[in-house]
Amino acid sequence: MTLSIRPIHPTFAGEATGIDITRPIDADDVAAIETGMDRLAVLVFHDQRLTDEAQRMFTRNFGTLEASPGGNITKLHERRLPLDMQDASNLDRDQKPLARDDRRRMFNLGNRLWHSDSSYRAVPAKYSLLSGRIVVDHGGHTEFADMRAAYDALDATTKADIENLVCEHSLMYSRGSLGFTELTDEERSMFKPVRQRLVRTHPMTGRKSLFLSSHAGTIVGWPIPEARAFLRDLVEHATQPCFVYSHKWRQWDLVMWDNRQTMHRVTRFDETQVRDMRRTTVAGETVTVAQAA
Ligand SMILES: [Fe+2]
């Protein structure tokens, strides 16, 4: 088998074929996937019957697994999966869909908003890898937005205006925008905002992109309503159909994306059905800007 990568959208996203990622892969294939990711930012692999361990093994080819608490209100003892595997399902520990009014479900509804994974961490994520173990028939698509093409399409004045802006990101902001505001003191301190540059440059390609996310709730030095109105304008711009690829899941798809160059969101689905999606995350290597003292 020979790895081949075919673009599936005019500006980004590709489909990788000719590779079995459930087994160890060689250095040439790792390098080809990294190159494909630099160029296309989203790669789809079909028919990969990954176990949790095989998914971890494939993910480790690209860096260190992110495995820190702080990304959810689900308590450690309530988790269905270990800390190095993010649970993107709608299930509890007994493999049953969460009740409509379950606090954990309401928190997870934040994934319906455009975001970049772990942008609320001082060192935001590099790649995310999502495996579709059980998928639903209708909805539950993952939509991606190309934040490089969105940046390129801005006018020169806006590019100059935003060049050095710094935003503050927190899970409090994304959840708060959906009206989920009841947090314990412990959760509030866990969700302490972090700073991120609004324009970031890709370390391999040198391309600039908009580092937006629903977690972004303020711009340092700006009045909050002005910051939020502007961030909303930018998200609206960046998620126009021409910048979006919508992935319709088949069971055993593995989709990996570069959080430094894209945003994503999940679309609505019937949550009485089981949807078991498991994510591994490659930790980022550096902050985008110095943190506040
Ligand atoms: Fe996500």
Report the C-alpha gap between 4 and 16 in whole angstroms: 6
- Of the candidates 105, 107, 100, 68, the one whose C-alpha atom is nearest the C-alpha of residue 86 is 68
pLDDT band at 227 (very low <50, low <70, confident <90, very high): very high
Task: Decide: 90 and 275 in contact? Cβ < 8 Å.
Answer: yes
As a whole number, mean pLDDT of residues 29-41 equals 98
Q: Is the pLDDT of residue 293 over 90?
A: no
Enclosing H/E stretch for 279: strand 276-281
CB neighbour list of residue 193: distance below 8 Å, 6 or more residues apart: 120, 168, 169, 170, 172, 173, 217, 218
Residue 172 pLDDT: 97
Residue 120 CA to ligand 1 centre (angstroms) = 12
Segment 257-290, tens digit of pLDDT: 999 999 999 999 999 999 999 999 999 999 999 9
Q: Which residues pair with 264 in a beta bridge?
A: 115, 144
Rounded distance from Cα 2 to ligand 1 centre (Å): 30
CA-CA distances (angstroms) from residue 262 to 91, 125, 127, 215?
A: 27, 11, 10, 14
Per DSSP, which regions of 114-207 are E strands? 127-134, 142-146, 166-169, 194-197, 199-201
Q: How many CB atoms lie within 10 A of CB 175?
A: 24
Distance 63 CA to ligand 1 centre (A): 18
How confident is the model at residue 29, as a pLDDT?
98
Query: How far is the centre of ligand 1, averaged over its atoms, from the C-alpha of 116 (Å)?
Result: 6
**Of residues 279, 257, 266, the one with CA closest to residue 41:** 257
Percent share of the chain, pLDDT over 90? 95
Token pair listed for 282: 């490659």
Report how far ligand 1's centroid is from the alpha carbon of 1 (Å): 31
Q: Tell me the pLDDT tens digit for each residue of 113-163.
A: 999 999 999 999 999 999 999 999 999 999 999 999 999 999 999 999 999
Residues 6+ apart with CB under 8 A from 90: 97, 98, 105, 108, 271, 274, 275
pLDDT at residue 71, rounded to an integer: 85
Residues near ligand 1 ion, CB 5 Å cutoff: 117
CA angle 25, 30, 36 (to 5 degrees): 135
> For residue 283, how many other CB atoms are within 10 A of its CB?
18
SS3 83: coil
The answer to whether residue 201 scores a pLDDT higher than 80 is: yes
Report, as an integer, the average pLDDT of 173-193: 95
pLDDT digit string, tens, across residues 228-239: 999 999 999 999
How remote is the CA of residue 82 from the centroid of ligand 1, in Å? 17
